[in-house]
Structure 1
C-alpha cells in the first residue's frame, strides 16, 4: 500500500481513540496522595484502586468479540468510548464509592476498546497492520504521558483532583463523536465455519502459540503497570524528591513514543520478531536496574533505557496479535484472549509490589522481582516471536502454520 493510498481518515480516528486508552489510568497515580488525604482511604484501599483498572482490562477484554458479533466492531467501539466517558464523569464526585465505580467503568471500556482496535487495524490495513499497530501504540503512550504530566496542573487550575480526573471525559466525548461521524463502514465478512460462537475461542486455548502471546502480553504489561503505579514511590524510597521522581517517570513515558513507533519497523528486519523482542526487554531490565539499584548519577540513562524498552515491548506485543493471525476475525479472537488473560495476569504485578511495600520489603527485593518478571517475558518472547501464524483449517478448526513471507 502506497503512502497516498493509506486510509488517512481511519488512521486519524485510530490515533484519537488510542489517546483515550491511557490517561484514565496514568492521571490517577500523581494524585494518589491527595486522594488518600481527602477520602481517608487506607493504603490497602489505595492499592486496590490502582489494581482495579488493570484487573478490569483483563476481565472485560474477552467481551469484545461477543460485542463485535452482536453490534459490529464499529458500534462496539462506540459503546466502549461511551463507557469510558461515563466512568470519567463519575469520578467528578469525591466519594470513595464513586471513585471505585468510575475506575471500574473506565477499566471495562478500555479493556473492550483495546481488544477491538487490533482487529479493526488488521481488517482496514491487512498488509501494513504491524506498522500501523506501532502508530496506535504511540498514541497510547502519548495519552499515558499526557495523563501523567497534566494531572497535577489540571487539579491546580480546575480546583481539585476530582475535576482533574473528570476532565479527561472531554477527550473521550470528542473521540466518540468523531468515531460516530467518520468510522469505517466496511461490510461484515461472510460467515465461515468455526469463526463464530465459542468454537474459535476454545480452539485458541488448545494452541500453544496463543498462550505464548498471552503470557508475553501479561508479563510485559505487569512491568508497565508496576512502573505506572509504583515507580515514583520506589524512587522516593531511594531518596529522590517527589517532584524529581514524578519527572523521571514522566520522561520515561515520553521516551516510549520513540520505540513504540520504531519497534514494528525493527521487527521487519528479520524472519521473526525474537531479536527485536529480546532487545527491548533487555532495555527494560537494564533501565529498571539502573533506576532502582545503581548510583543516582545513572538515573537518566536508566530512564532512557526503560522508556525505550517498555514502549517497544508493548508495541511488539500488540503487533504479534496481528502477525500471528491469518485474518481480522481471528485477530479479534486472539486480541480478546491475549489482552484479557494478559491484563488479568498483569494486575498481579502492581498488587504484589503494593503488598511488598506494605510489608516494608527493601527496594532491592522489589528490583529482583522485576528482573524475574522480565525474565519470564523474555522466555515467552522466544516462543511467541517465532515466524508462526494461527489459521483456520478447511473444516473450521484452528492450526498453527509457518507465517507467510511478507
Structure 2
C-alpha cells in the first residue's frame, strides 16, 4: 500500500463509525409496522406483541453495563465487529426459526445493538475529540434516518414479499457494514491491559459520580418520552379522529425530523460557558408538544413537528454529554454503559405503564399528563446536567 493510500485509509477509517450507526435501529423499528401480520401468523396476542417490542430495551439495560469489559478485553473495534456479526445472524434467523427463535433472536439483537450503543460514543470521544458534538449529531442522524426508513419500508416490502422477508431484510445492510468494518477491526491493536498509562485518568467507579447519575436521569427521561410517543402516538391520534394511515405518516415525520434536530443542536451546545443552553433547548420541545396535545389536539401536526425536532436534539445532547463528561475513552464507555442501562430500563417501562394507565382510566389523558410531567422534569435535569 502506497503512502497516499495509507493516508487515505487513516483519514476515512474514523468515518466508518457512522456506518455502524446505520445498523443500530432497523432491526427494532421494522417490528412495529409488521405486528398486524406477524402476530396472527405466529399466534401472538397484544400482550406478547408488546413484550416483543420491549424485549430489546430490556436487553439494552442488562447488557450495557458489561460492554466495557468486552471492549477492554478485545478492543472496541473488534467488539463492534463481533456485535455486527451477531446482529446480522440474529436478524436473518429471527423470522424463520419459529416462535422460540423469534424470542431468542430478538434478545440477541438487543444485546448486539447495546454493544454499538455503548461503544460508538467512546469511539467518537477518541476519534473526534475536537468535534464531539458535531460527530454525535452526524451519527445520531444516521441512527434516526435508518430507523425511520426501516419503519416506512417494512409494510410495502412485506406486501411485495412477506413479513418474514421484510423483517430479515436489514441483515443485508449489517453484513455489508461488517465487511467494511472488518479491516479496521483487524488493524486495531488489542488493548494491553498490563501496561499502565501514566497520563490516564484515575479509575473511579462511575456509579459513585454525581454527574453520572444526572446523565443517567437525562438519558432515561428523554428515552422514555421518545419510546412512549413512538409506541402510542398513532393510537392517541386515532382516538382523536385521525385516520390510521395519516397517523402512520405522522409517526414517520416524528422520527424523520429527529435528523434535523440532531444536526442543529450541536451549534447550541457550545454557546455560552457550558452546555445548558443546548440541553434545555433540546428538552423544551417535548414539553411544548405534550402540552399542545393536551390543550389543542386539533393542531396535532404542529405538535408532531415540534416533538420530532426535540427528540432528535435530546438524543444528541444525551450522547454528546456522555462523551464530553468522560475523562478518557475507558471512562466514557463505562459512563455510556451506566446511562444507557438504567435509561433504557426506564424507557422499557414507559410504554407499558402508559398502556396500563390508559386501560385503567379509559382515557389517554392521564397518561399524557404523566408524560408531560416527566418532560418538565427533563427540562430541569437538562439545566443541571448541562453545567460544566
* Shared fold, TM over 0.5: yes
Alignment of 1:232-243 (within 5 A): 232-243=234-245
CA RMSD of aligned residues (A): 2.3
Give how far 1:46 is off. Answer: 1.5
Deviation for aligned residue 1:293: 4.9
**1:366–1:193: structure 2 CA closer, same or farther, 3 Å change rule?**
farther
Higher share in helix: 2
Task: Report the alpha carbon displacement of residue 119 of structure 1 after superposing the two structures with TM.
Answer: 0.7
How has the CA–CA distance of structure 1 residues 231 and 99 changed in structure 2, closer, same or farther, with 3 Å as cutoff?
farther
The Cα of 1:239 is off from its aligned counterpart by 2.1
In structure 2, the residue matched to 1:124 is: 127
CA distance in 2, matches of 1:334, 1:256: 24
* Residue pairs, 1:1-80, within 5 angstroms: 8-80=11-83
Instruction: Provide closer, same or farther for how the CA distance between residues 100 and 361 of structure 1 changes in structure 2, counting only shifts above 3 A.
Output: farther
Q: Secondary structure at the match of 1:128?
A: helix
1:154 aligns with 2:173: no
**Aligned-residue offset at 1:142:** 0.6
Distance 1:62 1:157 in 2: 41
Alpha-carbon offset, residue 191 of structure 1 = 2.8
Matches of 1:117 and 1:339, distance apart in 2: 12
Task: State the match for 2:275 in structure 1.
Answer: 273
Query: 1:194, CA displacement in angstroms?
Result: 12
Query: Aligned partners of 2:95 and 2:131: how far apart in 1?
Result: 40
Q: CA deviation at 1:34?
A: 1.8
Q: Which residue matches 2:4?
A: none
Q: What SS does structure 2 have at the residue aligned with 1:347?
A: helix
Structure 2 unaligned spans of 5+: 1-6
TM-score by length of 2: 0.91
| 2:343 corresponds to | 342
* 1:295-339 C-alpha deviation (Å, 9 max, x unpaired): 32x122111101110000001000001111221121111111111
Counterpart among 277, 294, 297 of residue 295 in structure 1: 297
Mapped partners of 1:7, 1:248: distance in 2: 41
- Once the two structures are superposed, residues 358-379 of structure 1 have per-residue CA deviations (whole angstroms, 9 ceiling, x without a partner) of 4363111121121122122222
2:385 counterpart of 1:380 = no
| Alpha-carbon displacement from aligned partner over 1:226-253 (angstroms, at most 9, x marks no partner) | 1222222222222221111110010111
Alignment of 1:4-403 (within 5 A): 8-93=11-96, 95-158=98-161, 160-183=162-185, 185=187, 187=189, 188=191, 190-192=195-197, 200=203, 203-291=205-293, 293-296=295-298, 298-359=299-360, 361-387=362-388
